[in-house]
């Protein structure tokens, strides 16, 4: 029995390590092996929920969260995983309840404050997000993921010097950290250093940071292609605003279009009114087809990439 527990602990440790490195898919198999031996282990269900969440399997992740908290209502990891799922489902109040429960159970655990930062990001409160991350960093000053997230906030604020410092510090602590590699890549991209940005994206991709690295490759593609990059730049600009402001921008754009069309018609400029309408329809069409065209362009770019073991 002692040997079995030892194997189980090693597998749980392996899963935690892979999750930390951004390799969610690699974390699933050791967790399934643990659960095949002990299906009532709450920690394994909670970690599996984190892995499933990171691979966008939100429904399955929610099921694992529920199992984890049924088995152990005071599971810190279970509450944290539940908060991740609630954020993915755009339920900030539920996410906050689970975060506060996790912090109450383990007030010195930096993961709780990192999870709190996610909730504030969902709400578009960048200042509160930074405060939560700084609290997490005060508890674990060498946490590469938290350093990278703080750097990302500076990146969005166009404070590239500070963003690079956070990225460099994170990489000194954890040279293969995917978040930090991508952050450094974005700093290079902001300076127009395309080759260096691409190298960091590929390095992060090799280390399992799939989504973030692909996001960076897409940004590089947008920088190189003005026409297809329009949609990308627009979507990034919107995403930086938070959900409430996005709705305001979209509604405001439609109102501006209607007012412009009405004013042109009132002045008897029929052709001008038609041009305004065509311009609006063109924008709508591009918003519809732009993402598909951009993804196709990105797939062609990725098809040229061969990841070698010695990269």
pLDDT beyond 60 at 305: no
Q: How far is residue 82's CA from residue 3's CA, in Å, rounded to a whole number?
A: 31
Residue 48: count other Cβ atoms within 10 Å of its Cβ.
27
Bigger pLDDT: 295 or 186? 186
Q: Is the pTM of this model over 0.85?
A: no
Summarised one tens digit per residue, pLDDT across range 161-175 is 999 999 999 999 999
Rg, Å, the chain Cα set: 23
Section 302-310 average pLDDT: 50
Computed over every residue of the chain, the mean pLDDT equals 81
Summarised one tens digit per residue, pLDDT across range 11-54 is 998 989 888 877 888 899 999 999 998 999 999 999 999 999 99
pLDDT beyond 70 at 72: yes
What is the pLDDT, as a whole number, of residue 135? 97
Domains and CATH numbers, the chain: 1-141 (1.25.40.10), 158-224 (1.25.40.10), 230-311 (no CATH)
Three-state SS for 130-179 is: HHHHHHHHHHCCCCHHHHHHHHHHHHHCCCHHHHHHHHHHHHHHCCCCHH
């Amino acid at each position: 029995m002692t040997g079995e527990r030892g194997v189980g602990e090693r597998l749980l440790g392996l899963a935690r390590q892979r999750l930390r490195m951004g390799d969610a898919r690699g974390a699933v198999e050791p967790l399934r092996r643990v659960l095949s031996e002990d299906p009532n282990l709450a920690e394994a269900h909670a970690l599996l929920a984190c892995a499933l969440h990171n691979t966008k399997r939100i429904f399955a992740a929610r099921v694992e969260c529920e199992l984890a908290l049924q088995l152990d209502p005071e599971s810190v990891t279970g509450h944290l995983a539940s908060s991740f799922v609630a954020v993915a489902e755009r339920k900030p109040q539920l996410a906050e309840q689970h975060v506060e429960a996790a912090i109450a159970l383990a007030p010195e655990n930096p993961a709780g404050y990192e999870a709190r930062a996610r909730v504030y990001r969902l709400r578009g409160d960048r200042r509160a997000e930074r405060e939560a991350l700084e609290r997490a960093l005060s508890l674990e000053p060498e946490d590469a993921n938290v350093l990278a997230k703080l750097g990302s906030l500076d990146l969005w604020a166009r404070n590239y010097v500070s963003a690079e410092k956070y990225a460099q510090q994170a990489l000194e602590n954890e040279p293969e950290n995917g978040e930090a590699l991508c952050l450094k890549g974005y700093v290079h991209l902001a300076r127009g250093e395309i080759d260096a940005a691409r190298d960091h994206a590929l390095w992060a991709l090799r280390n399992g940071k799939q989504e973030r690295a692909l996001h960076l490759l897409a940004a590089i593609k947008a920088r190189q292609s003005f026409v297809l990059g329009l949609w990308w730049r627009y979507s990034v600009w919107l995403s930086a605003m938070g959900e409430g402001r996005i709705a305001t921008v979209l509604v405001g754009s439609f109102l501006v279009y209607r007012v412009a069309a009405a004013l042109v018609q009132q002045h008897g400029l029929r052709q001008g009114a038609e041009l305004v309408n065509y311009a609006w329809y063109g924008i709508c069409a591009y918003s519809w087809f732009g993402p598909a065209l951009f993804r196709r362009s990105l797939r062609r770019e990725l098809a040229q990439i061969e990841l070698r073991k010695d990269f």
